[in-house]
Chains A and B, each alone.
Chain A
């Protein structure tokens, strides 16, 4: 099997909205693909189609070597799905949740129990396994949800915004679990609105906008293809901001971005060292005091802005369209 996930020209409309509009994807086995896009880009729609939950209007998709539309049951034995919100029985214990799901994957009674024990252990929930899920923290719920997606050691695991609404600690816990799974050979398709998350976890990133992939590559390749390095300047006195922007414009390859709140200006440059020296020299001559200066690679936020001409919207998890 050359690719664990193949999508070709997938289309899905809801009334006038094209949720997916010619979506193409190829994910090699054992890798993590990050599907990155703002709210409404079509990430959940793509995951639901690939996880056999949603019919589509046109195109073709294969997961773990089987056709999603025609061999759905075969696909279902080989995937795990962790949706945008934990799909757990709050009243039941973590262990009960896993045992019941194991039985529904047609493990025998004792197999299901053993598997639940293993997974609780592996996701650091052994101590909390007997307590009702409603007593769990957000990070614990997410980990249990991941464990629930892992009952049969899926060859392909879908994670739809796995860390949305988690605090940094919960997020780290989930990231660690995902890395463990990948080490064990699982292919992961992960959607996210967090650029650092894709950067942290993904081997390849696909940037999704309005239902189609608009850019694809390794995090590093994407960054270097979509603009060179950037200079960030912070001036001590807000009144010098315009001067700093003007000086930076002369060495920059694109219009500088000014952030008055931080008294900062940032621009993309070609010749890193030369540009930095020139701009600092000019500002020194102008008598402008620079409080901070940095030469850095572009963030994926900036990549997205470049690709779409629009900034990413970071929308609160609480206002999301239900999956």
Chain B
């Protein structure tokens, strides 16, 4: 039996191969246990409906225009933000269950568990975004730009998710159990609500408005509103004029910081 299998010379650790195996593992997980993902999608749809029908009537778009058109780009970015919890929980659960240790005791490429996770979460982000686009179309949102603009907007949204994935991986590596939940919520709420996703920063107190303007989420939201041809909150300053640039720079900066941080942290698990 095993003689043949096991005596064969060992394959080599391969970053791509190991990462794909670990991505496959995450997908197998979801196939077996789709509940949490379905829950996350349902939650996102619920928020869209809530804002579109419940609060939407009371909220005004500064430059005029449909609130739902204004809302949806914010919702797309928000769902990318909410995706962080899934990343952080998965990374933290693996560490806690001893799976991370088992992988570290195996000849698996060091970056692979993190890369495998990121890839799996990006695949789910694509699914999430597709569902959100349908939800948006259902409540009357439309992309008015050309196909190129629309694709660019979708690309920016996924780029934001990629950056947030690495933030989530890092949080998962530095926290444990309930701490992971707290860490993610502490990040998600200010980042989500102190942005231009739902309301115009100009309607906030000045200093909050400035924070909201500079928020990476606002950059993506602002840029995608322009690309989709949806109403924005206007705004005069440098930030408002450079949304597309910031929507690229912010995520790249986050990736540049959190990929090395995560890797360092993963290596440091060896105390």
Give the residues in chain A near B102, CB-CB below 8 Å: 81, 83, 87, 101, 148
Give the residues in chain B near A77, CB-CB below 8 Å: 10, 107
Give the residues in chain A near B271, CB-CB below 8 Å: 54-55
How distant is the Cα of A268 from the Cα of B248 in the complex, in angstroms? 79
How distant is the Cα of A77 from the Cα of B7 in the complex, in angstroms? 12
Known: A83-B101, A105-B107. A100 touches B24 (CB 8 A): yes
- Do residues A54 and B29 form an inter-chain contact, with CB atoms below 8 A? no
Known: A100-B25, A153-B6. A73 touches B107 (CB 8 A): yes
- Do residues A100 and B98 form an inter-chain contact, with CB atoms below 8 A? no
How distant is the Cα of A51 from the Cα of B103 in the complex, in angstroms? 11
- Do residues B2 and A100 form an inter-chain contact, with CB atoms below 8 A? no
How distant is the Cα of A73 from the Cα of B22 in the complex, in angstroms? 19
Give the residues in chain B near A101, CB-CB below 8 Å: 102, 106
Determine whether A132 belongs to the interface, using a CB cutoff of 8 Å to chain B: yes
Known: A92-B32, A153-B6. A87 touches B98 (CB 8 A): yes
Binds A, one of B13-21, B120-128, B222-230: B13-21
- Do residues B5 and A81 form an inter-chain contact, with CB atoms below 8 A? no
How distant is the Cα of A84 from the Cα of B102 in the complex, in angstroms? 11
Determine whether A254 belongs to the interface, using a CB cutoff of 8 Å to chain B: no
* Mask of B93-117 contacts with A, CB within 8 angstroms, 1/0: 0001111011111111000000000
Known: A51-B105, A54-B271, A55-B270. A115 touches B33 (CB 8 A): no
* Mask of B256-271 contacts with A, CB within 8 angstroms, 1/0: 0000000000000111
Q: How many residues belonging to A are interface residues under a CB distance threshold of 8 Å?
A: 40
Determine whether B63 belongs to the interface, using a CB cutoff of 8 Å to chain A: no
How distant is the Cα of A115 from the Cα of B1 in the complex, in angstroms? 8
How distant is the Cα of A100 from the Cα of B113 in the complex, in angstroms? 13
Known: A76-B106, A81-B105, A106-B107. A86 touches B98 (CB 8 A): yes
Determine whether A85 belongs to the interface, using a CB cutoff of 8 Å to chain B: yes
Say which residue of B5, B13, B28, B108 sits within 8 Å of A111 (CB atoms).
B5
Task: Report the minimum CB–CB distance from A16 to chain B (whole Å).
Answer: 15
- Do residues A91 and B32 form an inter-chain contact, with CB atoms below 8 A? yes
The contact size tier of chain B is 35 or more
How distant is the Cα of A280 from the Cα of B33 in the complex, in angstroms? 67
Determine whether B11 belongs to the interface, using a CB cutoff of 8 Å to chain A: yes
Say which residue of B1, B10, B106, B269 sits within 8 Å of A118 (CB atoms).
B1
Say which residue of A79, A87, A89, A92 sits within 8 Å of B101 (CB atoms).
A87
Give the residues in chain A near B32, CB-CB below 8 Å: 91-93, 96, 132
How distant is the Cα of A106 from the Cα of B10 in the complex, in angstroms? 7
Determine whether A104 belongs to the interface, using a CB cutoff of 8 Å to chain B: yes
Task: Report the minimum CB–CB distance from B107 to chain A (whole Å).
Answer: 4
Task: Report the minimum CB–CB distance from B264 to chain A (whole Å).
Answer: 14
Question: From B17, which residue of chain A is reached at the shortest CB distance?
Answer: A106
How distant is the Cα of A48 from the Cα of B25 in the complex, in angstroms? 25
Task: Report the minimum CB–CB distance from A235 to chain B (whole Å).
Answer: 49
Give the residues in chain B near A52, CB-CB below 8 Å: 104-105, 270
Task: Report the minimum CB–CB distance from B131 to chain A (whole Å).
Answer: 22
Known: A91-B32, A105-B107. A153 touches B2 (CB 8 A): yes
Give the residues in chain B near A242, CB-CB below 8 Å: none
Task: State which residues 89-124 of A face B: CB under 8 Å.
Answer: 89, 91-93, 96, 100-101, 103-108, 111, 114-115, 118
- Do residues A91 and B33 form an inter-chain contact, with CB atoms below 8 A? yes
- Do residues A76 and B105 form an inter-chain contact, with CB atoms below 8 A? yes
Task: Report the minimum CB–CB distance from A195 to chain B (whole Å).
Answer: 25
Determine whether A322 belongs to the interface, using a CB cutoff of 8 Å to chain B: yes
Give the residues in chain A near B2, CB-CB below 8 Å: 115, 118, 153
Known: A54-B271, A76-B105. A87 touches B28 (CB 8 A): no
Question: From A105, which residue of chain B is reached at the shortest CB distance?
Answer: B106
Task: Report the minimum CB–CB distance from B37 to chain A (whole Å).
Answer: 12
- Do residues B106 and A91 form an inter-chain contact, with CB atoms below 8 A? no
* Mask of A247-269 contacts with B, CB within 8 angstroms, 1/0: 00000000000000000000000
- Do residues B12 and A323 form an inter-chain contact, with CB atoms below 8 A? no
Give the residues in chain A near B96, CB-CB below 8 Å: 322
Give the residues in chain B near A104, CB-CB below 8 Å: 18, 21-22, 103, 106, 108
* Mask of A49-64 contacts with B, CB within 8 angstroms, 1/0: 0011111000000000
User: Which 3 A-B residue pairs are closest in the complex by CB-CB distance?
Assistant: A106-B11, A87-B98, A91-B33
Q: List 23 A-B contacts (CB under 8 A).
A: A48-B101, A51-B105, A55-B271, A76-B106, A81-B101, A81-B105, A83-B101, A84-B98, A86-B98, A87-B99, A87-B102, A88-B97, A89-B28, A91-B32, A96-B32, A100-B24, A105-B107, A106-B107, A111-B8, A114-B5, A115-B6, A118-B1, A322-B96
- B-side residues, CB < 8 A to A, are 1-2, 5-6, 8, 10-14, 17-18, 21-22, 24-25, 28-29, 32-33, 96-99, 101-108, 269-271
Kindly list 16 other residue pairs between chains A and B, CB separation below 8 angstroms, not including A77-B10, A103-B21.
A73-B107, A76-B105, A83-B102, A87-B98, A89-B29, A92-B28, A92-B32, A96-B28, A96-B32, A100-B25, A104-B103, A105-B11, A106-B11, A114-B5, A115-B5, A118-B5
